[in-house]
Structure 1
Amino acid sequence: MLSEETRTIIKSTAPVLEDHGVTITTRFYQRLFEEHPELLNIFNHANQAQGRQQTALAKTVYAAAIHIDDLAEIMPAVIQIGHKHVSLGVKAEHYPIVGAHLLLAMKEVLGDAATDEIIQAWSDAYGVIADAFISVEKSMYQKTAAQENGWIYFKDFTVARKVKESEVITSFYLKPADGSNVPKYTSGQYISVRVLIPGEKYTMIRQYSLSQASKPDEFRISVKREADNDPNGVVSNYLHKEIEAGGQLEASAPAGVFVLDETKTSPVAFISGGVGITPMMSMFESVADSSPERKTTFLHGARNRSQHAFDEDIRKYAEGMQDVTYKTVYSDEPDGFITHALLEETVDPTGEAYVCGPVPFMVSMIRELRNIGMPEDHIHYEFFGPAMDMPK
């Protein structure tokens, strides 16, 4: 529990954190990696280079400041970030290191404005927040380890098959190298893949949605190949160009909170853009298998037909469903976007909607779903990037 005085001090720093948060977190990461370069084996280098991780952390710290009177308000974010941390292999012993460097960065950036009282208050608050993360993640690790065929951290997998789905998306079918099965997962979850690319000093970790419904003996991830000069494309290009059937990869157990609610029977819509189709494939297959009578809409936006993945698979699943609408639009063609009118025509606002894709696409889809009358808590979405980095 934090004292009223501590909470008052923390709240008073919110405006400063809103203005200077990214500067503080940028300096924090610089300090952290100077002192603990081994943590570069965990953090996404591309997100660091582009400033996305710094922005995400600044938003998290600011959210803690404004909700310090009721930290339960940030628990959904703690759980979402906790899933990401567990998939990366973050450990309890990392938190004191992070806390020490965050406070030092705060003092360094704010100078005399960061009084001893403010630093002590944030030290106390960080301790409470860190304990929440450690507790949540400990429970997740225990649950992951205890499930059938479960493990924690990373495990060796063999690429059983490599299948090109479109001009830019390729699927990798992964089987445990030890011949065991994989744990059951909920459609929409992701795994982390860890690689050590020749010539690189540190391992790189990326999260990829599981793109098929749960199977007992394998995972499938479907990876978009980014441009060669895109910092986000280092791992995807390595997978596309260097990893073939028979190759080895390390993977985490499934994680993530963007999942299909399989208890619902109301109408459901899957709305995706680009590689955002990958978690939708898992969800759509699950509905086709377990609830073929459920009214279902699948809307997808791709750049053009050559970049449109999984069209045949979706049509195959749809054949066994009783009430399904499937439509794809191509942005390279006139009127090639998912519009308000198309949503109004195909999506039942009393049902549920799952949205995934590039940020501008998602922002537009979420806004238009609200505009056709869908309640906020019926709209579910996933964002590819650091937690807390999703625009409202």
Structure 2
Amino acid sequence: MLSATATETVRATLPAVGSAIEDITALFYDRLFYAHPELLRDLFNRGNQANGTQRQALAGSIAAFAGFLLEHPEQRPDLLLSRIAHKHASLGIRPEQYQVVHTHLFAAIAEVLGEAVTPEVAAAWDEVYWLMANALIAIEAGLYRQAGLPEGEVWRSYRVVGREEETGDVAVFTVAPVDGSPAPASEPGQYLSVQVELANGARQIRQYSIVGSRAGTLSFAVKRIPAGTGDVAHSADGSPAGEVSGHLHAEVLEGAELTAGTPFGPVVLDRESDRPVLLASAGIGITPMVGMLEHLAEQGSDRRVAVLHADRSPAAHAFRGRVDDLVGKLPQATLDLWYEQPDQGDEHRDGQAAVHPGYLDLTAVTVPDQAVAYLCGPVPFLTSARSQLLAAGVPAESVHYEVFGPDLGL
């Protein structure tokens, strides 16, 4: 917890720091990448840097952590810390890298706030930083131990032993360790970090949901993100969007080698519970749900399972047939689909599914009593689905979500 002196100083300065936090984090990344250009080239997601979402996420996490320390001095914001720690572990972050961040972050704070950063203010926010950093270091150390790995040693060589075109813009890659050892264990709902070397020499990393793990292999799904032209492909907002997904789709065929990590991710199916499960997704957010359904079907689960998915159209809907088959193997499962551009305008049944026009609407379905909900999709979808679940009486602690990219919701 914060010391008494630091608590009063942080409480007094949080409004000023909070109002300047995005300027601070923008300058921090500028300083960090100037001093260590290899971090932008080979570790940080250049798309999230270019469109500003990583800056917003860092700013939000620092402000949220500081606010939590003030409001709940005897507790720790484990949800926020767990999500960050799992992402860090998937990248192989090491304890010594937190000192590098500290150096450039506090230089940015001093430059942005100027004379307002007295020795007392610097000492108080130094406490905040190291409370957060040391908590993350401890959680990440536990994740590495759980995976049976030395700290940061997450990467290994895999061979692509299968590739399947799920839709026009979604491909499933199945990989096995090149050395013949078993693929690392994964929990239903986790993701795998994949590193590729691009034509410009950058080694960029992205995380992809695991949609299957059997016979010593891991399968993950990749949606191709349209990209622009130029030395680094840019999307309409100026970010180098799609450079990794485009590379995987265009260059990585069966037989190729890939560098990938160890499965991580805090949003996983509770396999020990017998409570009903509600899986709600939109677009490519269906991928972690496929992993959860695969596990439930393999176990012959008799849990009540409500599967809800929203998509642009039936043609864009990835894993439509696979989910239908999995739902059919579960005796107490239902499947409801919503399409913005349905093949038919009216509600109808298609295989295992009840199909609705428009956006996900929980008033059209029965939310199981005592359900544990898992959500994945774009932030507007997550916001809407979570609000609907809370309004339907699902407790907040029973609603878990995964978001692709920086977690701006936190």
- The question of a shared fold, defined as TM-score above 0.5 by the shorter chain, is answered with yes
Distance change in 2, residues 1:390/1:291 (3 Å) = farther
- 1-structure distance, mates of 2:142, 2:363: 45
Distance change in 2, residues 1:268/1:127 (3 Å) = closer
Q: Does 1:13 align with 2:22?
A: no
| 1:336 counterpart residue number | 358
- 2-structure distance, mates of 1:268, 1:2: 39
Alpha-carbon distance, 1:349 to partner: 4.0
Alpha-carbon distance, 1:122 to partner: 1.7
Alpha-carbon distance, 1:151 to partner: 8.9
| Alpha-carbon displacement from aligned partner over 1:206-237 (angstroms, at most 9, x marks no partner) | 0111012x424111111111112333311111
Which residues of 2 match residues 282-297 of structure 1 at below 5 A? 282-297=291-306
Count of matched residue positions in the alignment of Structure 1 and Structure 2: 384
Q: Is the 8 A contact 1:145 1:152 kept in 2?
A: no
| Alpha-carbon displacement from aligned partner over 1:63-92 (angstroms, at most 9, x marks no partner) | 222223427332332222111101111111
| 2:205 counterpart residue number | 205
Q: Does 1:107 align with 2:110?
A: yes
| 1:227 counterpart residue number | 226
- 1-structure distance, mates of 2:149, 2:28: 35
Q: Is the 8 A contact 1:145 1:151 kept in 2?
A: no
| Alpha-carbon displacement from aligned partner over 1:360-382 (angstroms, at most 9, x marks no partner) | 11111111111111111121111
| 1:133 counterpart residue number | 136
- Aligned with 2:242: secondary structure? helix
| 2:354 counterpart residue number | none
- Aligned with 2:290: secondary structure? helix
| 1:385 counterpart residue number | 405
Alpha-carbon distance, 1:302 to partner: 1.4
- 1-structure distance, mates of 2:50, 2:170: 24
- Aligned with 1:300: secondary structure? strand
Q: Does 1:272 align with 2:268?
A: no
| 1:215 counterpart residue number | 214
Counterpart amino acid of 1:239?
L
Counterpart amino acid of 2:378?
P
Percentage of identical aligned residues: 36
Counterpart amino acid of 2:46?
H
| 1:369 counterpart residue number | 389
- 2-structure distance, mates of 1:267, 1:43: 38
Long gaps (5+) in structure 1: none
Which one is further off, 293-302 or 44-53?
Answer: 293-302
- 2-structure distance, mates of 1:367, 1:132: 30
Counterpart amino acid of 2:363?
A
Counterpart amino acid of 1:18?
G
| 1:91 counterpart residue number | 94
TM-score, structure 2 length as denominator?
A: 0.89
Runs of 4 or more consecutive aligned structure 1 residues displaced over 3 Å after TM superposition: none
- 2-structure distance, mates of 1:252, 1:71: 35
Alpha-carbon distance, 1:96 to partner: 0.8
- Aligned with 2:192: secondary structure? strand
Q: Is the 8 A contact 1:17 1:58 kept in 2?
A: no
| 2:231 counterpart residue number | none
Distance change in 2, residues 1:151/1:141 (3 Å) = same
| 2:158 counterpart residue number | 157
Which one is further off, 116-125 or 18-27?
Answer: 116-125
Alpha-carbon distance, 1:173 to partner: 0.4
Alpha-carbon distance, 1:141 to partner: 1.5
- Aligned with 1:13: secondary structure? helix
Alpha-carbon distance, 1:329 to partner: 1.9
| 2:252 counterpart residue number | 243
Q: Is the 8 A contact 2:283 2:377 kept in 1?
A: yes
Q: Does 1:347 align with 2:367?
A: yes
- 2-structure distance, mates of 1:45, 1:327: 36
Counterpart amino acid of 1:126?
Y
| Alpha-carbon displacement from aligned partner over 1:100-157 (angstroms, at most 9, x marks no partner) | 111110010111122222112222332332222222212222221259xx99321111
- 1-structure distance, mates of 2:159, 2:270: 30
| 2:32 counterpart residue number | 32
Q: Is the 8 A contact 2:176 2:218 kept in 1?
A: yes
**Hey, which of these two has a bigger chunk of helix by percent?**
1
Counterpart amino acid of 1:356?
C
- 2-structure distance, mates of 1:165, 1:14: 48
Distance change in 2, residues 1:53/1:270 (3 Å) = same
- 1-structure distance, mates of 2:54, 2:381: 21
- 1-structure distance, mates of 2:65, 2:373: 29
Q: Is the 8 A contact 1:52 1:386 kept in 2?
A: yes
| 1:55 counterpart residue number | 56
Distance change in 2, residues 1:19/1:309 (3 Å) = same
